Amino acid sequence: MNSPIQNAARIVPSARQLAWQELEFYSFIHFGVNTYTDKEWGLGDEDPTIFNPVEFDAKQWVDVCKSAGMKGLILTCKHHDGFCLWPSAFTEHSVKNSPWRGGNGDLVKEVADACREGGIRFGVYLSPWDRHDQRYGSSSYNDYFKDQLRELLTQYGDIFCVWFDGACGEGPNGLKQVYDWDGYYEVIRECQPNAVISVCGPDVRWCGNEAGHTRESEWSVVPAELQDCEKIQENSQHVDDGEFSKRANSRDENLGSRDAIAGKDKLIWYPAEVNTSIRPGWFYHASEDEQVRSLEELLNIYYKSVGGNATFLLNLPPDMRGLIHENDARRMAELGQTIRSTFQHNLASNAHASATEVLNENHAVDRLFDGNKDTFWCPREGTEHASIEIDLKEEQTFDTIVLKEQVLSGQRIEKVRLEYLDQGIWKPLIECTTIGYKRICRFTPVSARHIRLTIEESRWFPTLSAFEVYLSPRSVTAS
């Protein structure tokens, strides 16, 4: 019989979860009537004629995303105000009654096409909370919502993600809606089986805050109860019936440790996404033009999310022209430039290594350096501790080490220690906890030829598919 920990170690991602995780970094685009009213939440009574992005250029959005190294884009096709960025056949409250493109435009299509042409993935945000539609609060609203999902999921090519927010406030008639989540999921699985359903969905977990904070130990294997829609906002307009407070909640700090999973009936693969905005608001406000997050802040969030076994969903709100503002665009280009130059040259690509134990030839330790995500080193089943000595073949200066588990086999590593050899003495470099899909370890630059990785705790037996060593440009400039 397997132990509970062994069972946890055997839980693996679905193909759609793995494909999503590999995107690592992608954008959120909040755009709609709020862009023109300077609001964060529209009331639903906005006149569609206010929507007129005269300089709208989907290619500019995609180019900005690509300059930062993003591999996807998620568009707010409909936010809480109910205004649709595509000419839905099921409502008049959409671009078709705006002056934009003479009422003949389809913004979702232009963005989806630009993503495809630019080689990035396209995803949709569709707010279940609708402050405009009169059907809200009745079962016919659920039908309306499913009809809209079908439109979005059948007319715009491949969709990588459907992003659901749990907001459930009152509609124009003062009623609240009982959402038919299972019915929504069915439509998505039917129309876009490869798309992940995020946040209020079964595939991708909300990290628990909108500020860009990440956990030190991010587990993708967590109690199944987290899968329930539990994005409860502090705002009084959102419902919190207290039901969720008794159970594991995506805001909890400790979700996947041995303690956190002990005694839980069912565990699942449910990886985290970190979502935040480049500015204080989700929608564009001219008053925030000087509050674009600094390069330092964004890099930090990037390293802690993408480099902390999560993905990074960064919101870039286009302005009234329909363009991503110059300040945001400039910051994205700087961010991309820094990330690209940091990870350009892996100083361990020709390294040699030895491990305390190797399962067999297929899992030899040189698998760490072959650049192939599907090959991996591992010791024998049941070996929870191991250490690997890496010889870079010559002394190198570095400040960043990337570690990757082979998550197709599960997430198992709980604690590792990195050291470097300095004149015959092993000196501490850094310690960290979980690794999962990717852990980016950063430290003050050191010069060394030998590095030692000690896996101090793991579940069942660890796997590692990559060990990469880099020097970031900041350290180059500083030295």
- In the bound state with ligand FUL, the residue whose beta carbon lies nearer, of 40 and 370, is 40
Within 13 Å, how many C-alpha atoms sit on residue 421's CB side?
15
Q: Is 81 in the site for ligand FUL (CB under 6 A)?
A: no
For tokens 């501790």, what's the residue?
A: 385
Q: Is 282 in the site for ligand FUL (CB under 6 A)?
A: yes
Q: How far is the CB of 40 from ligand FUL (least distance, A)?
A: 6
Q: How far is the CB of 336 from ligand FUL (least distance, A)?
A: 23
Q: Is 398 in the site for ligand FUL (CB under 6 A)?
A: no
Q: Is 115 in the site for ligand FUL (CB under 6 A)?
A: no
For tokens 């935040």, what's the residue?
A: 276
Task: Write the interaction track for ligand FUL spanning residues 2-41; mark x where CB under 6 A is met and - where it is not.
Answer: --------------------------------------x-
Q: Is 130 in the site for ligand FUL (CB under 6 A)?
A: no
Size of the site for ligand FUL (CB under 6 A): 5
Task: Write the interaction track for ligand FUL spanning residues 342-371; mark x where CB under 6 A is met and - where it is not.
Answer: ------------------------------
Task: Write the interaction track for ligand FUL spanning residues 286-325; mark x where CB under 6 A is met and - where it is not.
Answer: ----------------------------------------
Q: How far is the CB of 340 from ligand FUL (least distance, A)?
A: 27
Cβ atoms < 10 Å from Cβ of 423: 6
Q: What angle do CA 417, 419, 422 make, to 5 degrees?
A: 170
Q: Output the CA torsion 202→206→289→234 (10° steps).
A: 110
Q: How far is the CB of 146 from ligand FUL (least distance, A)?
A: 21
Q: What angle do CA 163, 166, 171 make, to 5 degrees?
A: 115
- In the bound state with ligand FUL, the residue whose beta carbon lies nearer, of 165 and 419, is 165
Q: Is 184 in the site for ligand FUL (CB under 6 A)?
A: no
Cβ atoms < 10 Å from Cβ of 224: 14
Q: Is 124 in the site for ligand FUL (CB under 6 A)?
A: no
- In the bound state with ligand FUL, the residue whose beta carbon lies nearer, of 167 and 222, is 167
Closest-CA residue to 233 (of 250, 214, 213, 216): 250
Closest-CA residue to 393 (of 350, 361, 431, 362): 350
| Strands in 278-349 per DSSP E | 310-315
Q: How far is the CB of 231 from ligand FUL (least distance, A)?
A: 6
Q: Is 167 in the site for ligand FUL (CB under 6 A)?
A: yes
Q: Is 165 in the site for ligand FUL (CB under 6 A)?
A: yes
Interface positions, 232-251, toward ligand FUL (CB under 6 A): 233
Helical (H) or strand (E) element with 77: strand 72-78
Can you tell me the distance from the alpha carbon of 28 to that of 199, in angstroms, rounded to the nearest whole number? 14
Surface-to-core class of residue 464, CB atoms within 10 Å of its CB (0-12 exposed, 13-18 middle, 19+ buried):
buried
Q: How far is the CB of 315 from ligand FUL (least distance, A)?
A: 7
Can you tell me the distance from the alpha carbon of 315 to that of 298, in angstroms, rounded to the nearest whole number? 12
- In the bound state with ligand FUL, the residue whose beta carbon lies nearer, of 177 and 338, is 177
| DSSP secondary structure string for all residues of 130-159 | -SS-TTTTSHHHHHHHHHHHHHHHHSSS--
- In the bound state with ligand FUL, the residue whose beta carbon lies nearer, of 156 and 282, is 282
Residue numbers of the site for ligand FUL (CB under 6 A)? 40, 165, 167, 233, 282
